Chains A and B, each alone.
Chain A
């Protein structure tokens, strides 16, 4: 069974600083994909970044990067140069290759302080 764990219910960061949101996972699938989504207070789920389990390099998308440590089964999201608009819930999710379902963690609420 797949399991996603996000141990930080809430995080605070000063504007313009970097922040790391933790995510660990457990799966028996030999290959899988890891995703991060942002959910602002308006409610929509916004896709941020993807990492495949066989990708050699960590994924990056603008100010977002994914610190993927396969042996430790962790896929932490790093946001550089935080902005006030980054305040939101952030969800880590996983999808096994060959399985269509995507499972989500409990989320981390990030608050960016001016």
Chain B
């Protein structure tokens, strides 16, 4: 089966610009996650969707980050305006069971100059 798809793989922008990342989860996976992984750290959960509803966005910096999952399938994470500290890999993951493992995409590496 196809894995979690993410794009773009790499993005370089200047601070105060905007950027959007796209994720398509594994077919049939109701739960979708966006994680931020800063170099040398573990992934940090930004937002979690169950179908097209938000379950947890407590760690999402809502003044600049937004995410949506229309139709309960693919999802978009947007950053506007970007700051230098947003440089990180943005990982999308999905799961079938609420208690099972997460399946990750290859990530989108963002560099903010």
Contacts and interface: CB of A to CB of B under 8 A. Distances in A.
Partners in one complex: yes
Interface of A: 4, 6, 33, 35, 37, 42-45, 47, 50, 91, 95, 97-98, 100-107
Given A37-B104, A102-B102, 5 more contacts: A35-B102, A45-B104, A91-B42, A100-B31, A101-B33
B43 A45 contact: yes
B91 A45 contact: yes
For chain A, what secondary structure do more than half of its interface residues adopt (helix, strand, loop), or is it mixed? loop
Interface string B19-33: 000000000000101
Contact of B48 (A44, A101, A107): A101
A6 B43 CA distance: 13
Contact of A44 (B31, B44, B56, B104): B104
Given A43-B89, A43-B107, A100-B56, A50 B42 contact: no
